Amino acid sequence: MEKPVVRDGILQRMRRPTGPRILDISPPVSVKAEVWPGDTAFTTRRVMDLADGCSCNVTTVQTTVHVGAHVDAPLHFVEGGADAADVELGACVGPARVVRMPRRGAVTREDLAALDLEGVERLLLATRKAGMPARFRDGFAYLEPDAAALLGERGLRLFGIDTFSVDHPDSKTLESHRALQRGGVTILEGLDLSSAAAGEYELIALPLRLVGCDASPVRAVLREPGVPARRGGLPRGARARASSAGAAGGRIPEHNPEEGDDVELNSVHGRFQLLPTDRVRVSLDRPANVMLLDDANFKKYADGREYNYFGGHSVTSPVELAPPREGAWTVVVDADEDQDVAVKVEIVGNA
C-alpha cells in the first residue's frame, strides 16, 4: 500500500490493494507449449542484448496466433470472416460460469441440456483433471455440433474450453466452430482451468487487435466474487458505527480503546458536516492511514476503486486534520498490514 505522509491542505491519491482474488487461467507460453501439429511452434530470438553492450534487451517472437489461451475469430473457419481485430470485446469481459465435466471425448447436446444455463452468458468448460497438462497424445474433449448449436440457442455470448479445439481433432469442416459462430458465440480455447472451482466468476480475456489474423492469444483471468460482509474492505460493524454516528447530530461518539472498543481494519468512523475551522483529532495505537473522504470519493473507496482523500499516513498520535472545505466528510482509518487498530476520534473547533 502507498504510504503518503500527512500534510495539511494536500490532497493525496491512493489505490486500494484489497479485493477479490484473481485466478490466471492462461497456460504459460514457452518453447514447451504444444501447438496444433504442423502449426508454428513458439520460439524467441534476442535481437538486442544488454550482454552485448546494447542499450536494452529486445526479443522477437515467432509462433501461431493459436498458441496458449486464444480467441478464434470467424476468419479462422469462414472465408472473408471477421478477423481478430473485430472480435466483440464485450463478449470477452463479464460474468462467467465454470462447469467441471471431466472428459476425453465428445460433449453432447444432452450433456449441456442437463446444465442450468439460465442467465449464463459465458460458459467455461473444465474437462481435464487437475494437474493433467494438455497433450495431443492424450486426446481431448470437444463439442458435438448440435451441442454447440444449443449454446447459441441458450443465448451464450462466449464459450471457453481447456482443450485445443471445440471441434473433433480430425474434423476438416469445423462444424462446431461454425455452429457457435452462427449462434453469436465467441470461441475461447486453450484455457487452464485446473485452479478454478466450479462456480461464478468475472472473466477477462481480451484479444490483441491483430488485423488480418484469424485468432489472437489472450491473457485470460477469472476474478472471484467479493465477500459481501467485507465489501470494499469495510467491516459490517464499522458501517453500523458510522450509521449511528451520523444519527448523533454530526458528532461521532468517542471510540475509547480503554473501554474495549477496538475498531476493525478499514473502519468508517462517521459521516458528518464539517466547517474549515473544525479539526478531526484521531488517536490510534499503531501507524495507519487517517483519511477524510467526501461522499463521491467514499463511494469509490467502498467499491474498491481509485479515490482521492485528504490526509495521509500517520506514525504519531494523535493526528489532527482540518477539512479543505465545508461539507459532508467521512473519517476512515486504514490500518497497516491487515492489523486491527484501536482508535479514538474527537471533533474539535466549532461545537
Please spell the DSSP secondary structure of 192-234, one letter per residue: --TT--SEEEEEE-PBP--TT-SEEEB--EEEPPP-GGGGGG-
Read off the amino acid at residue 218: V
Read off the amino acid at residue 19: G
**Residue 236, phi-psi category: left (phi > 0), alpha (psi -120 to 50), beta (remainder):** alpha
Greatest alpha-carbon span in the chain? 81
Please spell the DSSP secondary structure of 253-314, one letter per residue: PP--GGGT-PBPSSEEEEEEEE-TT-EEEEEESS-EEEEEE-HHHHHHHHTT--EEEEEEEE
Is 255 a known active-site residue?
no
Torsion of CA 117, 120, 123, 126, to 10 degrees: -60
**Residue 266, phi-psi category: left (phi > 0), alpha (psi -120 to 50), beta (remainder):** left
Read off the amino acid at residue 349: G
Give first-to-last CA distance, the chain, whole Å: 35
Please spell the DSSP secondary structure of 20-45, one letter per residue: --EEE-----STT----TTSPPPEEE
**H/E element, 242:** helix 236-246
Read off the amino acid at residue 139: G
- Other Cβ atoms closer than 10 A to 29: 17
Cell numbers at 246, concatenated? 451520523
Residue 158's DSSP bridge partners are 122, 186
Q: Which of 70, 76, 177, 313 is catalytic?
A: 76
Residues 171 and 139 sit within 8 Å (Cβ to Cβ): no
Indicate which residues carry an active-site annotation. Answer: 76
